[in-house]
Chains A and B, each alone.
Chain A
Amino acid sequence: MATVKIPPVLRPSVGGEKEVQAAGEDVGAVLHSLAEQHPDTQSQLFSGEGQLNRYVNVYLNDEDVRVLDGLQTSVSESDTLVILPAMAGG
Chain B
Amino acid sequence: MSPTGAEVIRKIRSQVEEVDPSEVREHLGNGVVLVDVRESEEWDAGHIPGAKHVPRGYLESRIEGAVADRDQRVVVYCASGQRSALAANTLREQLGYGNVASMNGGITLWKDRGYDVEVPKSLTKEQRERYSRHLLVPEIGLEGQTKLLEAKVLLLGAGGLGSPTALYLAAAGVGTLGIVDDDEVDLSNLQRQVIHTTDRIGVPKVDSAEESIKAINPGVDVRKYQVRLYASNIMEIIEGYDVIVDGVDNFPTRYLLNDATVRLGIPVVSASILGFDGQLSVFAPHEGPCYRCLYPVPPPADMAPSCGANGVLGVLPGTMGLLQATEVIKLVTGAGEPLIGRLLLYEALGATFTELKVRRDPECAICSKDPSEISDDELGVFPDYEAFCAAAG
Contacts and interface: CB of A to CB of B under 8 A. Distances in A.
Nearest to B291: A86
A87 B295 CA distance: 10
B304 A62 contact: no
18 contacts: A8-B275, A9-B305, A44-B303, A55-B297, A55-B299, A55-B303, A63-B357, A64-B357, A64-B358, A82-B345, A86-B272, A86-B299, A88-B251, A88-B298, A88-B306, A89-B249, A89-B312, A90-B162
B355 A57 contact: no
Given A55-B297, A84-B356, 9 more contacts: A8-B277, A9-B303, A64-B358, A66-B359, A85-B304, A86-B251, A86-B298, A88-B248, A88-B249
A88 B388 CA distance: 13
Given A64-B356, A67-B359, A85-B304, A57 B294 contact: yes
B139 to A, nearest CB: 27
Interface in A1-27: 5, 7-9, 18
Given A62-B355, A64-B357, A84-B356, A90 B296 contact: no
A53 B307 CA distance: 23
B362 to A, nearest CB: 10
Interface in B294-318: 294-300, 303-307, 310, 312, 317
Contacts of A66: 359
Interface of A: 5, 7-9, 18, 44, 53-57, 59, 62-64, 66-67, 82, 84-90
A67 B362 CA distance: 11
Interface string B243-276: 0001111110010000000000000000111111
B194 to A, nearest CB: 14
A85 B349 CA distance: 19
Interface of B: 157, 159-162, 246-251, 254, 271-277, 279, 294-300, 303-307, 310, 312, 317, 343, 345, 347, 349-350, 354-359
A7 B356 CA distance: 14
Nearest to B249: A90
A49 B274 CA distance: 30
Contact of A55 (B162, B272, B300, B358): B300
Contacts of A59: 356-357
Given A44-B303, A84-B356, A90 B157 contact: yes
A85 B272 CA distance: 12
A34 B306 CA distance: 26
B107 to A, nearest CB: 53
A54 B297 contact: yes
Given A57-B295, A85-B299, A90 B159 contact: yes
Contacts of A7: 277
Nearest to A11: B275
Contacts of B279: 87
A33 B271 CA distance: 32
A59 B157 CA distance: 30
B303 A5 contact: no
Contact of B354 (A53, A82, A85): A82
B294 to A, nearest CB: 7
A85 B325 CA distance: 24
